[in-house]
Amino acid sequence: MIRRFLNRHAGGMLVRNTVVSTGTFLLGLGVLWAMVEFAGVDPVIGTAISFLIAQSCHYVFGRTWIFTGSDRGLATGYALFLINAVVGLIVTVGLFWVLTHWTPINYLVARVIVSVFAGLAVFALNATVNFKRL
């Protein structure tokens, strides 16, 4: 299984995914910041909402640029992408809660740390299960 991720093809997808993930992560981080600072939303709830907004934007780029050539149908691909996003959401919110409740880490710093783990998990699921490109 690990060898599937250690080749040029996988590396190219991971680089493209990193570019898209960075952009959509920054979007989500901005949404989180605005919800917490201006709307008084609880940071854990805001993390969940902003994550789902960012993941929906990510799907468009995943479908058209990261995982090009997938035979997966549009509706099925989006449904699987959202299922994978829920896995990422569980990882994100769970680790975020641990970091913000058990450490003195600022909520925005915690969100950055958590994004690495959730992002890799979602990339692996989409590359293998959804778009079947690895």
- Looking at residues 37-53, what average pLDDT do you find? 92
| pLDDT for the residue numbered 32 | 95
Residue 1 has pLDDT above 70, yes or no: no
**pLDDT tens across 47-63, in order?**
889 988 988 899 999 99
- Contact yes or no for 31/54 (Cβ under 8 A): yes
**pLDDT tens across 70-125, in order?**
888 988 998 999 899 889 889 989 999 999 999 999 998 998 999 899 988 999 99
Give 23's contacts (C-beta < 8 A, 6+ positions apart): 61
As a whole number of angstroms, the distance between CA 38 and CA 59 comes to 28
Judge if pTM exceeds 0.85.
Answer: no
**pLDDT tens across 25-34, in order?**
899 999 999 9
As a whole number of angstroms, the distance between CA 48 and CA 3 comes to 32
Helix H or strand E encompassing 41? none
Tokens 């981080």 -> residue: 29
As a whole number of angstroms, the distance between CA 23 and CA 45 comes to 21
| pLDDT for the residue numbered 110 | 95
